[in-house]
Amino acid sequence: MYDKNNVFYKILQSEIPSKKIYEDGVALAFYDINPVCKVHALVITKALYVDFHDFVSKASPEEVGAFFGAVAKVAKLLEVDESGYRIVSNIGKDSRQEVPHCHVHILGGEQLCQSSK
């Protein structure tokens, strides 16, 4: 069950600011407030899904494809498309997902460690 009381919902509503990188009909991208590497961005769905699993289970294939297209566009805007980058999506308790709104981390700009995030 989606709970609107989360920080990404508030960013979508422009109730709190973000450092926006990109926006289209399905996705909004902004810089992570607490970067763990040189380039750390978040791409969130505009529609209200709790996590990536919820999104892929309920959204149309077109919306899922458009979201991944947006992720790739953001990586290009951030100029990590050639050097490489990692995408991570935390899903639920065991992943330690903090914000219950579907999002993908883009991590790059330097050599990353072998484990995720």
Tell me the catalytic residues.
Answer: 103
31, 18 contact by CB (below 8 A): yes
Q: Which is nearer to ligand AMP, 7 or 64 (CB)?
A: 7
Alpha-carbon distance of 17 to 84, in angstroms, equals 28
78, 108 contact by CB (below 8 A): yes
Q: How far is the CB of 82 from ligand AMP (least distance, A)?
A: 24
43, 74 contact by CB (below 8 A): yes
Closest CA to 28 of 37, 16, 38, 36: 16
33 binds ligand AMP (CB under 6 A): yes
18 binds ligand AMP (CB under 6 A): yes
The residues in 63-92 that bind ligand AMP, with binding defined as CB under 6 A, are: 90
113 binds ligand AMP (CB under 6 A): no
79 conformational bin, left if phi > 0, alpha if psi -120 to 50, beta if neither? left
| Identified binder of ligand AMP from the candidate list 4, 98, 113, 116, rule CB under 6 A | 98
21 binds ligand AMP (CB under 6 A): no
Site for ligand AMP, rule CB under 6 A: 7, 18, 30, 32-34, 42, 90, 96-99
